[in-house]
Structure 1
Amino acid sequence: MPGYGAPQNNGYGNYGNTGQGNGYGASQPYGYPSPAQPAITVGDGLSWAWSRITDNPVVLLVGFGLWTVLTGIGVEASYTVNGVEHSYGLGIPGGNIISLAAILIGPIALAHVGILTSSGRKASFRDVFTFPNFLQAFLAILLSRLAILIGTIFLIIPGIILGYLFSFVAYAAVERNLGVTAAMRYSMRLLSDNVGLLLPFALIGFLLYVAGAITVIGWIITGPLVALMTTYAYVRVQGRDVARYPSQG
């Protein structure tokens, strides 16, 4: 991608380098040539995401689930039915701080896990708490979330648009070792240049999150499913394919 340079290695090795230099080493096993890549579709993304979950279910379901719990620890809400007020929340001391921290640093670890998975490597629980390019990724996510919050508070629609455009910020910072503004610009460029391909992923991802919220326990499945679909979209829209064979440790 011109203007950003080749991504850095990040210490993960090339693991069967295909010459694409993505730093996580997406490749075909045993040196066979890459097959023709399928079209970028939500169906293919869902199928791939589910195949990766079944390939490494304990780490992906439990690992993503832990971050989901951490982001929700500080959530408290109330509603009134027939004049009776009901409230829910864990009421854990410092829960809001824990949730805020998880919202800002969780995407770094989950992007790392997603990119490892897309390259054909089997993620471990250690990867679930690994934060490559931490400072730059953290600041990029912080600025992105602030922009989304401001846009949502004032006009709502700008917040939704920015939420879409910043969907790849963590992935860009982690995989390509980019700085704060470069990661934000890279995400915006990928998503704005490929609206027709990527908007359906955003819509389906939103619906899956809603489904998970309604059933609560459904988040165990929808959380990692949406994250891996996002990984799929990020990798595929750059012209690379995701690993479609059993993961290698």
Structure 2
Amino acid sequence: MTTPQYPGYPGDGSQSGHNPQGGGVPGYGVQPGYGGNPQAGAAPGYGPQPGYGDQPGSNQQAGYGPQPGGAPGYGPQVGAAPGYGPQPGMDAGGGMPPYPGGAMGGVPMSVGDGLSWAWSKFKDNALILVAGIGVWSTLSLLGGFNFHVTLNGQEYGVGFGVPFGGYISAAASLFAPMVTANMSLKVATGRPLEWNDLFSFPNVIAGLLAAFLSYVAMIPAALLCGFPAFIVLFLFYYSVYFTVDKGVDGIAGMGASWNILSSHVGELLPFALTGAGLYIVGGITVFGWLVTVPLAVLMTGYSYVRIQGYDVVR
């Protein structure tokens, strides 16, 4: 397991000192030096921090009550994924500051809000998003395609491909999810996009494994009748996001994705259907995918962050 790419979600299991209260991504045990500290989670030498719930034995300063939009004491958030409970020190007076820009709560999570946020962020980062997603989408299509139809005994067809395109396409299909997950998470958490993000692969081995096994899992489902493949795709859609965000291994990322998506089908299925619609519209309009695909990618980052009880940077 590697260091999380974006540490700092309070209660997401990615920070040192987190002791999972049942479920969650494995591997984030109590770090030496934090267990048994009356001010769990606080840095040594720094006394109780005002404003994060009642401090045992401390005199809280006036004006630092519960923060707007957040539960008093930063308790578990309504709708948050199971297994991502509060960190030690949040309720006990550790005073851990919120994840940069990732405020607790926020406006209600919805497809409308997600699409509006994605459009706003797309306009702010249009050039790099179009370039990055365009490059990887093009590489993924180099395997080519063939279409044939027979009319009145005469076969007609059209095809496209490049030498070794199939190998390039297969490799791109494994690496592209890491790039898109990394870019969407950076936007969702207020980090500026850089051009080297187009070829940045955080936690690469775990990400490749998660992407590969997710594709493999869809094969038998697709052979059944096709529809089960979409169910598998839905349940494993956050696999690479967890490897990039939390630094977990590929299997743990797949398990976390399955748990959170299967537990929040009603909330996340509309996002999946909207994303599929954006891909379809982009394909029909030929060049429209340069806009619709980045929107779908950003909405995935939005739903990933919001379903865990935190807001995106706006």
Whether the TM-score (by the shorter chain) exceeds 0.5 is yes
User: Residue 212 of structure 1: CA displacement?
Assistant: 1.1
**Counterparts of 2:201 and 2:264, CA distance in 1:** 28
3-state secondary structure, aligned to 1:136: helix
Structure 2 residue aligned with 1:57: 126
Where in structure 1 are there 5+ consecutive unaligned residues? 245-249
User: Residue 122 of structure 1: CA displacement?
Assistant: 1.4
Q: 1:171 pairs with 225, 241, 249, which one?
A: 241
The answer to whether the 8 Å contact 1:26/1:120 transfers is: no
Structure 2 residue aligned with 1:72: 141
1:8-157 superposed matches below 5 A: 8-10=3-5, 19=10, 26-28=99-101, 34=103, 37-80=106-149, 82=151, 83=154, 85-89=156-160, 91-157=161-227
User: After alignment, is 69-78 or 193-202 more displaced?
Assistant: 69-78
3-state secondary structure, aligned to 2:197: helix
Q: How many pairs align?
A: 229
3-state secondary structure, aligned to 2:274: helix
Where in structure 2 are there 5+ consecutive unaligned residues? 16-97
4+ runs deviating over 3 angstroms: 7-10, 17-23, 81-84
Report which of the two has the higher share of helix.
Answer: 1
**TM-score normalised over the length of structure 1:** 0.85
3-state secondary structure, aligned to 2:106: coil
User: Residue 79 of structure 1: CA displacement?
Assistant: 3.0
Structure 2 residue aligned with 1:247: none
Structure 1 residue aligned with 2:69: none
Q: Which amino acid aligns with 1:48?
A: W
Instruction: Give the share of equivalent positions with the same residue, in percent.
Output: 37
User: Residue 154 of structure 1: CA displacement?
Assistant: 2.3
3-state secondary structure, aligned to 2:107: coil
Q: 2:304 pairs with 226, 234, 237, which one?
A: 234
Higher relative contact order (CA 8 A, sep 6+): 1
3-state secondary structure, aligned to 2:211: helix
User: Residue 181 of structure 1: CA displacement?
Assistant: 1.2
> Kindly tell me: are residues 57 and 187 of structure 1, through their superposed partners in 2, closer, same or farther at Cα, counting changes over 3 Å?
same
**TM-score normalised over the length of structure 2:** 0.68
